[in-house]
Amino acid sequence: MAQVRSPIAVFCSGEGTNLQAILDAIRAGRLRARVALVIADRPTAKALVRAARAGAAARCVIPADYPSRAAFERALIRECEAHGVRLICLAGFMRILSPLFVRRYRHRILNIHPALLPAFRGSRAIRDALRWGVTVTGVTVHLVDEEVDHGPILLQEAVPIAPSDTERTLLAKVHRVEHRLYPKAIDAMLAGRVRITGRRVLIADRR
């Protein structure tokens, strides 16, 4: 019997390399999901091209087209509902979702962050890590709550920083880890292998 693939949405603003990793993991059978919807908040997001290439439904929802953040978010919700989305995966989505949106999808929104949270929150995590001179940074996949880069943590992995690293080389190292970690976290969520108690998360092994 064909396995049911849970519909997910991926929200992106930029390159969409994590979206690509998700699509590739699905194709390779490492992630039992279906990208039912890709949302971009700007028409130039490369994620839209990647979605089209993969035959995934994609919508460009531009905040400036709406009178308020609430109206913009209502449009996002309408799209997610129309596509039967079970899990929302933020992948470089450069918008902060309001508490109203977050509460509606409580424990159903994941984010990937290019640092070991709670270190280097915010949109410049890679540059900030280099400026601090830390020798280890990393990747975090976490649930989204009402605060930015804050919700319960599913997976983290360290990335060593070499003295010669630049923003470009460190980003490449971080991406390599992200592209492996995100599909793994999404698969665990969809398979019901994630137990959340307060801030603590327990992930059961894949059978």
Work out how close the CB of 65 gets to ligand GRF at its nearest, in angstroms, rounded to a whole number. 22
Q: Which one is catalytic: 83, 113, 142, 179? A: 113
43: DSSP letter = T
Q: Is residue 7 close enough to count as binding ligand GRF by CB under 6 A? A: no
Stretch that binds ligand GRF, among 10-18, 27-35, 62-70, 196-204 (CB under 6 A): 10-18
Q: What's the min distance (Å) between Cβ of 167 and ligand GRF?
A: 12
Cα 101 to Cα 77: distance, rounded to the nearest angstrom: 8
Binding segment for ligand GRF (CB under 6 A), chosen from 36-44, 57-65, 110-118, 199-207, is 110-118
Nearer to ligand GRF, 79 or 178 (CB): 178
Q: Give alpha helix (H) positions in 5-98.
A: 17-27, 46-54, 69-82
Look up 83 and say whether it is catalytic.
no
The 68-97 site mask, x for binding ligand GRF (CB under 6 A), equals -----------------------xx-----
- Triad 140, 142, 173: Cα angle to 5°: 20
Nearer to ligand GRF, 77 or 171 (CB): 171
38: number of Cβ within 10 Å: 30
Question: Based on CB atoms, which residue is closest to ligand GRF, 176 or 195?
Answer: 176
Angle at 182 between CA 29 and CA 152, to 5 degrees: 135
Q: Least Å distance between CB 125 and ligand GRF?
A: 8
Member of 7, 114, 138, 183 binding ligand GRF (CB under 6 A): 114
Instruction: List CB contacts of 57: < 8 A, sequence separation 6 or more.
Output: 36, 37, 38, 51, 83
How far apart (Å, rounded) are the C-alpha atoms in residues 182 and 112? 7
Catalytic residue positions, numbered? 113
Binding residues (CB under 6 A) for ligand GRF: these are: 12, 14-18, 91-92, 112-114, 174, 178
